Amino acid sequence: MTESPAAPRNFIHEAVESDLQAGTFGGQVVTRFPPEPNGYLHIGHAKAICLDFGTATKYGGRCHMRFDDTNPTAEEQEFVDSILADVRWLGFDWGEHLYYASDYFQQMHDYAVELIKQGKAYVCDLTPEQFKDYRGVPTRPGRESPNRNRPVEENLRLFEEMRQGQHPDGSLVLRAKIDMASPNLHMRDPTMYRIKHAHHHRTGDTWCIYPMYDWAHGLEDSIEGVTHSLCTLEFEVHRPLYDWFLEQLGVWHPKQIEFARLNLSYTIMSKRKLQQLVEEGLVQGWDDPRMPTLAGLRRRGVPAEAIRKFCEEVGITKYESLTDVALLEHHVRGVLNRIAPRRMAVLRPLKLVLENIPEGEEHLCEAVNNPEDPAAGTRPVRFGREIYMEHDDFMEEPAKKFFRLAPGKSVRLRYAGFATCTEVIKDPATGEVLELHGHWDPPDAGLKVKGTIHWVPAAHAVEAEVRLYDRLFAKENPADESDGTRFTDHINPESLKVIRAVVEPALADVAPGDSFQFERTGYFCVDPDARPGTPVFNRTATLKDTWAKVAGRG
């Protein structure tokens, strides 16, 4: 593992340490990451993954990768595959500990029979409407089902009939007999099994009854010898039930500990909402680079290491918070700054003709590949009479503190000496600046200039498609619809701008997934859509732009 050394301690680690000290679980630490294979993983899951695997690693234990596949109508093999790939990409290794809840279906069934025999579970034929009615509401106790005192033998017979497929979907359920007056709704005789004549992606048609989460999850943990079952806050009210089942059965009893899920500003994390974005075509798929899915972040060019560092830094608490997406961006830049090779790319080209360089004459410049990493070496870049520069690096009437090119002014050309602007060629009709002419001075001319700009040699410029991504939502907390608006109302119309840029020849031959820093512009990652000769780059993040702030202030 490439985890940074001192992962900060949190209240869960304290609990683990105290269990270790007390010998509660025989000195072991076993955690698990238990996704349901019904969607793609997102950065919120990454927090859980880092916690589950990180805690196990920290205390010399192990973490199980387990699919909680107890609902065949929602789950698919496609999601199993993507989840596995995403966890691996994030940098975690479950070794041989890959499990499926569906592998325990027989064992869970047998435990259910045992509970029936103990008189602690019964088959109930209440309709969903009646069920709801009998359960009551939080402020008032429920009523007992008329089936509650069905004899054990009859319960066994009916449950067996359920298993054999003799009853239609929804006609019967198996319920735990706990307490219809409990202030905790989940303790009011919760459902353990429902009938679903559905094809399961792993067990096929072997089963037509499927266990409910509360019944299944604790058993999965117990069967695998999990010690610390870490989950999000909304399961807190389920804990008494988790404990109740394992106590009745007298089996291995892990400790469930809850923590707050991750919320990111300008982002939505709900699986349902993400699905809606995909289905309504508001994004281009689960791996759209604007999506907070791991697949999307990967395609965007966000390094796994940045996600791990981010997850480590947001910490683990029981307080529901909204983390600033700027913190993620900070780690993205931090990692990429260290490893991304530098290249020159001009996003909005403006031609600059250096009149004192003869046509056809070329100079070779030596460009540094990564100032943060001397081992990355240098590369040659050809330089000649005509170059492309960034349109934004020219101002006909320069603002105060504008250190770039303007009529009569000079700038340094990165690695290639100096340019002084002598003439501005404009479209007479629109006034638009079309081309610049100027004078060139070699690097040793020693002109006193404050600015350096990047450029691409016109004779060797390579055209590229560049996708400029920005945050998907313009509202800090788009998931909050309490103001009467819907999250889709706040989609940032500028979240994607596709442009044609010119890049230096060294960027002509790149592979999908390669990351670069386009000097002075941002970090970019090669998209799988790239074809030989026409690279496609996704903007991962901009560079910090002090000038934009100064200019923005007016």
Asked if 321 contacts 263 with a C-beta cutoff of 8 angstroms, the reply is yes
Beta strands in 335-451 (DSSP E): 342-343, 345-346, 349-354, 362-368, 378-384, 386-390, 410-413, 418-426, 433-441
Member of 403, 477, 492, 514 binding RNA (CB under 7 A): 403
Q: Is 10 in the site for RNA (CB under 7 A)?
A: yes
Is the Cβ of residue 120 or residue 261 nearer to RNA in the bound state?
Answer: 261
Member of 313, 386, 481, 514 binding RNA (CB under 7 A): 313
Please count the other Cβ atoms lying within 10 Å of the Cβ belonging to residue 197.
Answer: 13
Q: Which of residues 113-132 bind RNA (CB under 7 A)?
A: 126-128, 131-132
Helix (H), strand (E), coil (C) string for 529-551: CCECCECEEEEEEECCCHHHHHH
Helix (H), strand (E), coil (C) string for 249-304: HCCCCCEEEEECCCCECCCCCCHHHHHHHHHCCCCCCCCCCCCCEHHHHHHHCCCH
Contacts of residue 344, defined as CB under 8 A and 6 or more positions apart, other chains included, come to 367, 381, 414, 454, 455, 456, 503, 504, 518, 519
Q: Which of 135, 261, 382, 475 is an active site residue? A: 261
Is the Cβ of residue 116 or residue 288 nearer to RNA in the bound state?
Answer: 116
How many residues are present in the chain? 554
To the query of whether residue 280 is one of the catalytic residues in this protein, the response is no
Q: Is 21 in the site for RNA (CB under 7 A)?
A: no
Q: Which of residues 355-374 bind RNA (CB under 7 A)?
A: 370-372
Member of 28, 55, 57, 70 binding RNA (CB under 7 A): 70
Minimum CB separation from RNA for residue 337, in Å?
5
d(CA 44, CA 346): 35
Segment contacting RNA by CB under 7 A, of 77-85, 289-297, 311-319, 379-387: 311-319
- C-alpha 175: how far from its chain's center? 37
Mask for 37-56, x = binds RNA (CB under 7 A): --------------------
Q: Which of residues 454-493 bind RNA (CB under 7 A)?
A: 454
> Which of 364, 399, 112, 394 minimizes the C-alpha distance to 245?
112
Q: Is 448 in the site for RNA (CB under 7 A)?
A: no
Q: Which of 143, 202, 271, 273 is an active site residue? A: 271
Member of 78, 234, 463, 494 binding RNA (CB under 7 A): 234
Member of 217, 255, 471, 539 binding RNA (CB under 7 A): 217
Asked if 113 contacts 211 with a C-beta cutoff of 8 angstroms, the reply is no
Q: Which of residues 151-210 bind RNA (CB under 7 A)?
A: 169-171, 173, 183-186, 191, 194-196, 210
To the query of whether residue 261 is one of the catalytic residues in this protein, the response is yes
Member of 7, 322, 458, 508 binding RNA (CB under 7 A): 322
Q: Is 554 in the site for RNA (CB under 7 A)?
A: no
What are 539's two structure tokens? 């903007």
Member of 439, 443, 474, 514 binding RNA (CB under 7 A): 443
* DSSP letter, residue 74: T
Please count the other Cβ atoms lying within 10 Å of the Cβ belonging to residue 200.
Answer: 20
Q: Is 295 in the site for RNA (CB under 7 A)?
A: no
Minimum CB separation from RNA for residue 138, in Å?
3
Minimum CB separation from RNA for residue 387, in Å?
14
Segment contacting RNA by CB under 7 A, of 297-305, 432-440, 447-455, 503-511: 447-455
Minimum CB separation from RNA for residue 202, in Å?
14
Minimum CB separation from RNA for residue 461, in Å?
19
Member of 330, 363, 382, 437 binding RNA (CB under 7 A): 330
d(CA 35, CA 82): 12
Is the Cβ of residue 45 or residue 288 nearer to RNA in the bound state?
Answer: 45
Please count the other Cβ atoms lying within 10 Å of the Cβ belonging to residue 416.
Answer: 23
Q: Is 243 in the site for RNA (CB under 7 A)?
A: no
Count of positions on this chain that bind RNA (CB under 7 A): 93
Give exposure, 219-252, as e/b (b: 16+ Cβ within 10 Å). bbbbbbebbbbbbeeebeebbebbebbbebbeeb
Q: Is 335 in the site for RNA (CB under 7 A)?
A: no
Minimum CB separation from RNA for residue 268, in Å?
14
d(CA 24, CA 5): 27
Q: Sheet of 121-124: strands edge to edge?
A: 121-124, 173-176, 191-195, 209-211
| H or E segment to which residue 80 belongs | helix 77-90
Member of 43, 121, 212, 346 binding RNA (CB under 7 A): 212
Member of 233, 282, 357, 424 binding RNA (CB under 7 A): 233
Member of 5, 23, 95, 138 binding RNA (CB under 7 A): 138
Q: Which residues are catalytic?
A: 36, 261, 271
